[in-house]
Chains A and B, each alone.
Chain A
Amino acid sequence: MPTLATDFSDVTRSEASLRRFLHGLPGVDQVGAEARAAMLGTRSIKTTAKAQALDLAIRMVDLTTLEGADTHGKVRALASKAQRPDPADPTCPQVAAVCVYPDMVATAKETLGASGVHVAAVATAFPSGRAALDVKLADTRDAVEAGADEIDMVIDRGAFLSGRYLQVFEEIVAVREACAKPDGGSAHLKVIFETGELQTYDNVRRASWLAMMAGGHFIKTSTGKVQPAATLPVTMVMLEAVRDFREATGHMVGVKPAGGIRTSKDAIKYLVVVNEVAGADWLVPEWFRFGASTLLNELLMQRTKLTTGRYSGPDYFTLD
């Protein structure tokens, strides 16, 4: 982290220098970007490659419940599912993390124990991010204290869209500091852009660089509460950003599309884009995640179909 701060200290010195930098990034041609993503979506992933992709996608899932109606019971059930997605098949891998609101972190942590499945908490007045910085930081510290391994924060889209980039930058830096744990470690920080509100690919690229320079470990498309949520071209633009950022600094940053990815076919398209745009280094749960809930069962059904040759139907998979 200190290396990054020095690398970009010139850029983040003032509002003007930060704006100059972000607006100096190469533009994104919308038609071209969408055509490229669509072309990659035509890749045909079959047999052994499909089996590999399905298992990988399962291992990359952040199994999510973010409802007002969430209860401890619901979260315990989800945490059990995260460890044994397919009780009928012990070879089925577990997911990467369970993603919940901060007040559910302790419950999730308790159920998951030492399973290795992380607990991710959304924080910073998720999903709108409309609260005072102090409140956002308190929200974050709460979740970290309760044992969250990962924090999914939202950026202040209002500030971003009105051009107050430095404010957005400083907020990410502050949240990142609030991720510090008493043992000297730090919860991993995912920075959510809500790309459905940023709208343009140029904005997505600028937000990506902003979050990476501020020290975010992951950049994430959406809260899942705004449409459109994750799309293939948006995720591709973010993958280009992390690829270019590593080229420039040597640091890797992860990418998490979230919301709207429901089918195995879709998930595999995302993996193809990761593979061909950012490269195979990102094809691990450490650097790529899917924020999803219904996707998991779809992946499990396809996995069973592929191993048994039979398609069994939703009744054979647990709801949570």
Chain B
Amino acid sequence: MSVFEYAPAPESRAVVDVKPSYGLFIGGEFVDGHGTPFKTVNPATEEVLSEVAEADAADVEAAVKAARRAHDRTWSRMPGAERAKYLYRIARIIQERSRELAVLESLDNGKPIREARDVDVPIVAAHFFYYAGWADKLEWSGYGTTPIGVAGQVIPWNFPLLMLAWKVAPALACGNTVVLKPAETTPLTALLFAEICQQADLPAGVVNIVTGAGATGQALVAHPDVDKVAFTGSTEVGKAIARTVAGTSKKVTLELGGKAANIVFDDAPLDEAVEGIVDGIFFNQGHVCCAGSRLLVQESVAEEVLARLKRRMATLRVGDPLDKNTDVGAINSAEQLARIRELSAIGEQEGAGRWSAPCELPDRGFWFPPTLFTGVSQAHRIAREEIFGPVLSVLTFRTPSEAVEKANNTPYGLSAGVWTEKGSRILHVASQLKAGVVWANTFNKFDPTSPFGGYKESGQGREGGRHGLAAYLKGGDL
């Protein structure tokens, strides 16, 4: 009999109504922008999905003004229990419209529908539920109950709606109002979220969404009436933002890049470690700031782990993001694809061994096969620079202390993974790793109750959990 081929199982696009054009969301209304509208494309097909308004400095001004008014007159004065009602309502609407959000996220970002459906959207809803619960309990936060004011938030394209939730939910729970700029390649779910705010009868101006590229973001973070800047994205832009706000009274939290070590000891549960390695670097096409992009494997099991890993990578299903059986989707943009290609080429030039999973890539769209490099050392650029794609660098170590040294030998410090069946080793190694999150025998697990953030060039401040409130309350100063 023939091989068991899964027939195409596409999720229907009909559940979501993508409009031909979108305006900005300011003061509770969709309004025209004054910049040059730009197109957002489906990275899996290069099809234009919609045309989106660009906010210029005047539009940003209007948005900040609307946020200020809403903050001063309504939102910051409202009892926490009342704010909670809105947040719970938003959370419930997100659940009700989860299929629509998941399909739109997959279309605009290129991520597999399975991931948008099973990871992104459920955690988005969970985040709103979680912080809704805090809104009337801020007294017990440890940071007081006074909001900071107007928050300017700039988010990346890898988890568009999830990063929105991480920013908006705690800000609103604490009584702040927000002006949020989604990434220029993935604005659509943020604009659908704006509709959800309308549906929830959220008071006008509490959430404002300004679309655009770097200039719009720059205008927002530099605006004198923005009290708080929250940014997730590249370390390069994060540094520029830090320079912009230096010497002002603005508070800032930054969640930046990473080059996380995923450390596999010889007593690891190997089958699950292989799953964790795959999840660590190929989840969301490797477009994950906390991706386990450096595999550190103990030399005594390196060969076996590598053989198992390659066998597993060969079963990854790469292709149409809307197919429910797809594991790895499209690279988000031509620019990102170019960067991944460039760094991979450098890896080869520097002498690392390149291996890609055998898979057929679609002709149109932006695609890169799941790839690993062997024989990588700390001196290679692919072991130091964030590739932000489905590319794994494999390094080896001999002893636990060497593993820790190598893991920490990076300007970043966002996350790390430890794989061993020995509990004492987990605790010993984890306590020495300079990373904001250390996962033990798992990877890339997120929960609204758990704080997330980086050491060193991976950023400052924490999002999630009680710690995440510090960024949005006046008593949260370090």
Question: Measuring CB to CB, which residues of chain A are less than 8 angstroms from any residue of chain B?
Answer: 26-29, 31-33, 35-36, 42-50, 52-53, 56, 240, 271, 275-276, 280, 283-284
In the bound complex, CA of A31 to CA of B276 (Å):
11
Q: Which residues of B lie under 8 Å from residue A47 when comparing CB positions?
A: 7
Taking a contact as CB atoms under 8 Å apart, the answer to whether A28 and B269 are in contact is yes
Whether B4 lies near A49 (C-beta < 8 A) is yes
26 interchain pairs, CB-CB under 8 A:
A26-B268, A26-B269, A26-B271, A27-B421, A31-B442, A32-B271, A32-B272, A32-B275, A32-B441, A33-B272, A35-B275, A42-B114, A43-B324, A44-B6, A44-B9, A44-B324, A44-B325, A47-B7, A49-B5, A49-B7, A50-B7, A52-B2, A56-B4, A280-B4, A283-B3, A284-B1
Q: Is there an interface contact between A28 and B114, defined as CB atoms closer than 8 Å?
A: no
Q: A26-B269, A26-B270, A47-B7 are in contact. Are A42 and B324 (CB under 8 A)?
A: yes
Do B1 and A32 have beta carbons less than 8 Å apart? no
Q: Are B269 and A32 in contact (CB under 8 A)?
A: yes
3 shortest interchain CB distances as A-B pairs: A32-B272, A44-B9, A29-B269
CB of A105 to closest CB in B, whole Å: 29
Contacts of B267 in A (CB 8 A): 27
A27 to B4, CA, bound (A): 30
Q: Given contacts A26-B269, A32-B272, A35-B275, list 7 more A-B pairs with CB under 8 A.
A: A29-B421, A44-B9, A44-B325, A47-B7, A52-B1, A52-B2, A52-B4
**Which of B5, B268, B272, B325 has the largest count of A CB atoms less than 10 A from its CB?**
B272
Q: Give the A-B pair count, Cβ closer than 8 A.
A: 71
By the criterion CB–CB under 8 Å, are B272 and A28 in contact? yes
A275 touches B4 (CB 8 A): yes
Complex-state Cα separation, A27 to B276, whole angstroms: 15
Tell me, yes or no, whether B315 is within 8 Å of chain A by CB: yes
Cβ contacts under 8 Å, B1 to chain A? 52, 56, 283-284
From DSSP, what is the main secondary structure of chain A's interface residues?
helix
Interface size class of B (residues with CB under 8 A): 20 to 34
Rounded to whole Å, the gap between the CB of A287 and the closest CB of chain B is 13
Known A31-B442, A46-B7, A46-B9; judge A36-B315 contact (CB<8 A).
no
**What is the CA–CA distance of A271 and B4 in the complex, to the nearest angstrom?**
9
Given A26-B269, A26-B271, A29-B269, the answer on whether A43 and B6 have CB atoms closer than 8 Å is yes
Question: Which B residues between 1 and 42 are near A, CB-CB below 8 angstroms?
Answer: 1-9
Confirm or deny: B96 has a beta carbon within 8 angstroms of a beta carbon on chain A. Answer: no
Chain B CB within 10 A, most for which of A32, A36, A45, A50: A32
Segment 254-313 of B: residues with Cβ below 8 Å from A: 267-272, 275-276
B316 — nearest CB in chain A belongs to which residue? A276
Question: When the two chains form the complex, which single residue of B4, B276, B315 contacts A283, counting CB atoms closer than 8 Å?
Answer: B4
Q: Please, how many angstroms separate the alpha-carbon atoms of A283 and B270 in the complex?
A: 24
B114 surroundings in chain A (CB, below 8 A): 42
- Does B118 sit within 8 A of A, measured CB to CB? yes
Partner of B269, one of A27, A45, A46, A280: A27
Min Cβ gap A23→B in Å is 11
With both beta carbons as reference points, the residue of chain A lying nearest to B443 in the complex is identified as: A32
Nearest chain B CB to A155 CB, angstrom units? 23
- Residue among B268, B269, B324 with most chain A CB within 10 A: B269
How far in angstroms is the closest Cβ of chain B from A25? 9
Cβ-closest chain B residue relative to A28: B269
B residues near A283, Cβ cutoff 8 Å:
1, 3-4
Asked whether, in the complex, the Cβ of B4 is within 8 Å of the Cβ of A29, the reply is no
Pair B4/A32 contact, Cβ less than 8 Å: no
A33 near B271 (CB under 8 angstroms)? yes
Q: Among the listed A32, A42, A53, A280, which residue makes an inter-chain contact with B3, where contact means beta carbons less than 8 Å apart?
A: A280
Q: State the Cβ distance, A87 to closest chain B Cβ, in Å.
A: 24
Question: B75-91: which have CB < 8 Å to A?
Answer: none
Chain B residues, CB < 8 A from A33: 271-272
Complex formed: what's the CA distance from A284 to B3 in Å?
Answer: 10
Tell me, in angstroms, the Cα distance from A210 to B324 when the chains sit together. 38
